[in-house]
Amino acid sequence: MRTRWARGMALALAAGCLVAACQREARETRAPTPLDRATVGTIGGTVRFAGAPPVQTELNLSSSAECAALHDGPVLAGDVLVRDGLVENALVWVAEGLGDRVFGVPDTPVVIDQRKCLFVPRVAAAQVGQPVRFLNSDSLAHNVHGMPDEARGWNFMLGVQGASRDTTIDTAEPAIEIKCDVHPWMTAWLGVFDHPYFAVTGADGSFALADVPPGDYAIAAWHERLGRARATVTLGPKGAERVALTLE
Q: Which range touches Cu ion (CB under 5 A), out of 71-79, 141-149, 198-206, 227-235?
A: 141-149
State yes or no: residue 142 binds Cu ion (CB under 5 A).
yes
The partner residues of 221 in beta bridges, in order of sequence, read 92, 229
CB of 78 to Cu ion, least distance (A): 16
State yes or no: residue 182 binds Cu ion (CB under 5 A).
yes
- Nearer to Cu ion among residue 46 and residue 187 (C-beta): 187
- Nearer to Cu ion among residue 47 and residue 124 (C-beta): 124
- Nearer to Cu ion among residue 155 and residue 234 (C-beta): 155
Whether cis (ω within 30° of 0) applies to the bond prior to 121 is yes
Q: Show Cβ contacts of residue 217 under 8 Å, excluding neighbours closer than 6 positions.
A: 43, 94, 95, 96, 97, 98, 232, 233, 234, 235
Of 209, 128, 230, 133, whose CA–CA distance to 172 is shortest?
128
- Nearer to Cu ion among residue 122 and residue 183 (C-beta): 183
- Nearer to Cu ion among residue 179 and residue 223 (C-beta): 179
Q: Which range touches Cu ion (CB under 5 A), out of 23-31, 34-42, 153-161, 173-181?
A: 173-181
Of 127, 130, 157, whose CA–CA distance to 144 is shortest?
157
CB of 20 to Cu ion, least distance (A): 29
Among 87, 91, 180, 226, interactor with Cu ion by CB under 5 A: 180
- Nearer to Cu ion among residue 118 and residue 132 (C-beta): 118
Catalogue the long-range contacts made by 54-63 (C-beta closer than 8 Å, 24 or more residues apart): 54/80, 54/225, 54/226, 55/80, 56/80, 56/81, 59/185, 60/185, 61/117, 61/183, 61/185, 63/183, 63/184
State yes or no: residue 179 binds Cu ion (CB under 5 A).
no
Q: Which H or E run includes 75? A: strand 75-76
State yes or no: residue 118 binds Cu ion (CB under 5 A).
no
- Nearer to Cu ion among residue 40 and residue 182 (C-beta): 182
Of 41, 15, 86, whose CA–CA distance to 240 is shortest?
41
CB of 139 to Cu ion, least distance (A): 12
CB of 222 to Cu ion, least distance (A): 25
Q: How many residues bind Cu ion (CB under 5 A)?
A: 5
Among 48, 183, 223, 225, interactor with Cu ion by CB under 5 A: 183
Query: Per-residue b/e over 60-90, b at no fewer than 16 CB within 10 Å?
Result: ebeeeeebeebeeeebebbbbbbeeebbbbb
Among residue numbers 85 through 104, which ones bind Cu ion (CB under 5 A)?
none
Q: Which range touches Cu ion (CB under 5 A), out of 90-98, 138-146, 163-171, 234-242?
A: 138-146
Rg (CA), the chain: 21
The contact set with Cu ion (CB under 5 A) reads 142, 180, 182-183, 186
